Amino acid sequence: MHLHNLAETNSILNTFIAEMRDVNIQKDTMRFRRNIERTGEILGYELSKSLNFSNKEITTPLGSANSNLISDDIVLCSILRAGVPLHNGLLNYFDNAENAFISAYRHHKDNPESFEIIVEYLACPDLNNKTLILADPMLATGQSMVSTFEALKPFGTPKNIHLVSVIGAQEGVDFVSKHFDTNTHLWIATVDEALNEKGYIVPGLGDAGDLAFGQKLQH
Ligand code: URA
């Protein structure tokens, strides 16, 4: 897997990540959602450099100009619900992309420290020969990303796969790199050291879904 960790280069992205992590600033839910969305825009821009392009002649009011334009058919797939602002950020740039949504959540049976991933809702276009961008803001264990990909398999075989995440744990990065093809790219804003016993990224930022959309009752 090709890992693109944007934290290796200082940029304005550091500010957005710091604001998302900050226990006081993250209470501003609109800013939190917007920072995830802005991160999606930046990751999308970086990812776009590795897509395929073809030359097109564009007619301007004064003549014609040659432009290299993206020739890949993109399908953007996000995991509900925390993935929604990241999806919006990517869609702001890949505005002609087709879209897929999947609900995947952690189901804790008896032991609060162990869980299985339950996939319930799935809406997806044909994936054959498309470029699939799979977005999950928190790459903790990596199990949601892998379960989602397994659930998408009946919809066809994509030509290229790009994984997009805001914050990852090293364990999650290692897990997805074992499960995805070596040609897969992972675009991530930063990678943290650890996961706690409940599967949360440390230092991380907390629960991205709750911070973006409010707390939920446990089921
Ligand atoms: N999901 C979150 O929202 N936060 C984590 O730290 C891990 C998974």
Q: Which long-range contacts (CB under 8 A, 24 or more apart) does 117-123 make?
A: 117/143, 117/144, 117/147, 119/147, 119/148, 119/151, 121/80, 122/151, 122/152
Look at ligand 1, atom 4, and give the residue with the nearest C-alpha: 207
208 pocket-lining for ligand 1 (C-beta < 6 Å): yes
75 pocket-lining for ligand 1 (C-beta < 6 Å): no
How far is 46 from 41, CA to CA, in rounded Å? 9
Q: Does domain 2-51+71-213 have CATH number 1.20.1050.10?
A: no
What values do phi and psi take at 111, rounded to 5?
-95, 115
209 pocket-lining for ligand 1 (C-beta < 6 Å): yes
Question: Which residue from 105, 138, 103 is spatially nearest to 218, judged by alpha carbons?
Answer: 105
Number of residues that this document lists for the chain: 219
Where b means 16+ CB within 10 Å and e means fewer, 177-204 reads: beebeeebbbbbbbbbeebeeebbbeeb
Find the helix packing angle between 83-93 and 29-48, rounded to 10°. 50
Contact 175, 142 (CB under 8 A): yes
Going residue by residue through the chain (219 aa), what tens digit of pLDDT does each one get?
Answer: 999 999 999 999 999 999 999 999 999 999 999 999 999 999 999 999 999 999 999 999 999 999 999 999 999 999 999 999 999 999 999 999 999 999 977 777 777 667 777 888 999 999 999 999 999 999 999 999 999 999 999 999 999 999 999 999 999 999 999 999 999 999 999 999 999 999 999 999 999 999 999 998 876
Domain boundaries, the chain: 2-51+71-213
